[in-house]
Structure 1
């Protein structure tokens, strides 16, 4: 990975922390991870001690280590008891992570694509109420039920501070609960190799207080799309064939919905901070930033045209 990619990832806050839970559905996963790490270290120490005894111990210790009793205790009874106990404890610890009937959870459908994320906010009947991309906004202290799907290959959705990993499999809907304890920005990543720029397929969850979330949702009403030279360039250069901007003639479905792109934290599925400079750079040559993504480079735009397009898109909040 080039220095440019490393700088982009660092500026967007990647890699996300994996052992710092920020909600009730991440805490059991973190506790289990620590137990496995510590248990693995203890087992490694026992094995190293046994190896040291076998190589450098006295004849009496070597005889005991290779005796039938030691083999039964260390090779059968100890693993059976430890692994059985770990299995039972792990299942009981993580049983609360499965969605339960009647949970008062906000519903969101997230569809993994090569190499970005569609985000559809659903109402109580399961109908789409709002569409976005690469970013999820949630209220603090309320469970959010994610309905995870894939449009092409297997992806894996992972926001380490809010929940464990969940695969996104074509033709199947998997469900994952997340919840944030406090307001903030929580970073995530596709955790299943999906080809091409998989390592640059990030995600952002923004947790708001209840009042701030209601204000955010109220502000997501369909916009009129603005206007001016930026919109004219957007429509004339074919961008509308892939992207939607509600309130304009742009209604493409191949790429992310850009209706509120100016309000997003990042660009390129989490790899760039969202500002006019990065917006112009992404439009001009996204392939130099995220090789293999499905957006072509637009070298034909002049500097003035790039600035107009970037200003227009940044204004879509």
Structure 2
């Protein structure tokens, strides 16, 4: 078995390519130029203004350069040289004035955009606490009733058309929360709490990414924000509040026993079971998620199996150790984890 899994490790680039194709099919383009919120729209408009100004300046400079190249003059008389010197003075003065004007326009536009981003959206319909870990996202939905709070990982569901407040924290190093279709970047700093508010305009699945280098697997610290109609969001939230489903057949019951007897129970929580680890993602509704390992792999049985057996071959440096099971126990464990809808 070890040889087979080491061969899997050598094929990591293909797994990454497959994941990229998979996510490209289920998510909107990860781009600040495809806004899906009022905040992202302001950022996009500022970018397009800067692009338009830079394009005009580029065309003007290249045009002047080409004119100078193709309209060279022979040696001129002193009177012509004096006229040329005056023309140069005017040109330089005009360039300086244009530069000051452009900078002023961009300054005003930037201040206006910043003020717009800082405007309150109104009372939040949902408050979500996001904690950055190396290299995954812990997501907790606040509720006045502690028993109704839910914790999930790497995927965030929000209602369309309603303000959402994010409280951002970091457990280890500085991270940066960035979902370009919905808002700008916001740093997560250990020992310090930051906030960001946004409101999705339309349904969709929007990919986010840690935007602050945070270690070896920084590039594999992604998340998905799933914006859905309010009634669907409410149904999802109620489902997530439930404990894990009871094993439905003998194989799944055996899988739960294997899980509880393995090192997995020291790190992971499955609500409704004795598993209460707090240092790794909550697995209560694992099968309902689209991805594994913070967006590194699609959530399929095959990828889940590979991730359990040798996570270091897929995401080197992460804190999950390799695991060894006999074949029957491993199949039972997979069957149980696949039942956690």
Give TM-score, length-normalised by structure 2.
Answer: 0.84
For the Cα contact (< 8 Å) 1:99–1:177, is it kept in 2? no
Deviation at 1:29, TM superposition (A): 1.1
Alignment of 1:17-28 (within 5 A): 17-28=31-42
Give the corresponding residue for 1:271. 296
Q: Residue 248 and residue 71 in structure 1: after superposition, are their counterparts in 2 closer, same or farther (change >3 A)?
A: same
> In the alignment, is the contact (CA less than 8 A) between 2:148 and 2:241 conserved in 1?
no
| Residue 56 of structure 1, CA deviation | 5.3
Other-structure match for 1:152: 172
Q: 1:277 to 1:124 in 2, by over 3 A?
A: same
Asked if residue 6 in structure 1 is aligned to residue 12 in structure 2, the reply is no
Q: CA separation in 1, counterparts of 2:120 and 2:299?
A: 37
Deviation of the 1:57 alpha carbon: 4.5
**Deviations, residues 49-85 of structure 1 (Å, cap 9, x unaligned):** 34445555535799469823322221x3212111111
- 5+ long unaligned stretches in structure 1: none
Shift in alpha-carbon separation, 1:63–1:302, aligned structure 2, 3 A = farther
Whether the aligned pair in 1 keeps the contact of 2:37 and 2:201 (CA below 8 Å) is yes
How far 1:101 sits from its partner (Å)? Answer: 8.1
Does residue 120 of the first structure (1) align with residue 140 of the second (2)?
yes
Distance 1:304 1:87 in 2: 65
Q: 1:172 aligns with which of 189, 192, 206?
A: 192
Find the partner of 1:73 among 94, 100, 108.
94
Deviations 1:163-205 (A, max 9, x none): 1221222222222122222222111111122111111111011
Q: Which runs of 5+ in 2 are unaligned?
A: 1-11, 74-79, 248-252
Q: Does 1:106 align with 2:126?
A: yes
Q: How far, CA to CA, are the matches of 2:111 and 2:145 in structure 1?
A: 32
**Take 2:114 and 2:244, find their aligned partners in 1: how far apart are those partners?**
46
The counterpart of 2:234, out of the listed 198, 207, 214, is: 214
8 Å Cα contact 1:188-1:203 kept in structure 2: yes
1:290 corresponding residue in structure 2 = 315
Task: Report the CA distance between 1:295 and its aligned residue.
Answer: 1.0
CA RMSD of aligned residues (A): 2.6
Between 186-195 and 224-233, report the one with greater CA deviation. 224-233
Report the structure, 1 or 2, having the larger helix content: 2
Q: Would you say how many aligned residue pairs link Structure 1 and Structure 2?
A: 315
Distance 1:313 1:190 in 2: 27
TM-score by length of 1: 0.89
* 1:302 positional shift: 3.5
Whether the aligned pair in 1 keeps the contact of 2:244 and 2:340 (CA below 8 Å) is no
Is the Cα contact below 8 Å between 1:284 and 1:306 reproduced in 2? no
Shift of 1:107: 0.8
1:306 is matched with which residue? 330
Structure 1 window deviating more from structure 2 (121-130 vs 247-256): it is 121-130
3-state DSSP class of the match of 2:132?
A: strand
Residues 231, 100 of structure 1: alpha-carbon distance in 2 compared, 3 angstrom cutoff: same
**2:6 maps to which residue?**
none
